[in-house]
């Protein structure tokens, strides 16, 4: 097996991680939608907003990512959306950590069991993976054109 094939398997594994992260996250937030919106209601930043709308928007974005990643022609947009959504989540966590006495977690599923520090590192790791995949995909797209 040459290096190129190992590289291909590693990329496929990373693509699968991002795909299933957002699929899993979207499913768990949909199943526990009431709890998700309730946690958003308790947030310092969303007390004057329609948290139900925010919840629907977040879930729609989380489901959009696996759909975009599923198709070769839209995967680049999926990696970009993945990075941007994780950036927003990380900024939200950092702001909540710094400014709010109450830290509600609305992640759902296994991710909810992470500490706030672990949340940040988890998000940073997936942001790095998303950027790596974005630039790798963009490089291939540029070479093909």
Per-residue pLDDT band at 2 (split at 50, 70, 90)? very low
**pLDDT tens by residue, 64-75:** 999 999 999 999
d(CA 24, CA 29): 9
Q: Residue range 75-80: average pLDDT? A: 96
Q: 54 and 92 in contact (C-beta within 8 Å)? A: no
Q: What pLDDT does residue 48 have?
A: 65
Range of lowest pLDDT (60-69, 82-91, 112-121, 135-144): 135-144
Range of lowest pLDDT (25-34, 66-75, 83-92, 108-117): 108-117
d(CA 58, CA 49): 14
Residue 3 has pLDDT above 50, yes or no: no
d(CA 104, CA 132): 30
Residue 122 has pLDDT above 80, yes or no: yes
Q: Residue range 34-47: average pLDDT? A: 84
CA neighbor of 104 nearest in space, from 51, 30, 142, 144: 51
């Amino acid at each position: 097996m040459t290096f190129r094939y190992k590289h291909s398997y590693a990329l496929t594994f990373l693509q699968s991680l991002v795909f299933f992260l957002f699929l899993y996250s979207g499913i768990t937030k949909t199943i526990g939608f009431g709890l998700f919106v309730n946690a958003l209601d308790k947030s310092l930043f969303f007390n004057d907003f329609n948290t139900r709308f925010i919840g629907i928007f977040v879930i729609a974005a989380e489901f959009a990512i696996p759909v975009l990643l599923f198709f070769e022609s839209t995967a680049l947009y999926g990696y970009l959306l993945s990075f941007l959504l994780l950036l927003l989540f990380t900024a939200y966590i950092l702001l909540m950590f710094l400014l709010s006495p109450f830290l509600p977690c609305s992640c759902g599923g296994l991710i909810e069991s992470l500490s706030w520090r672990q949340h940040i590192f988890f998000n940073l790791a997936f942001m790095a993976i998303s950027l790596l995949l974005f630039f790798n995909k963009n490089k291939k797209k540029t070479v093909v054109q």
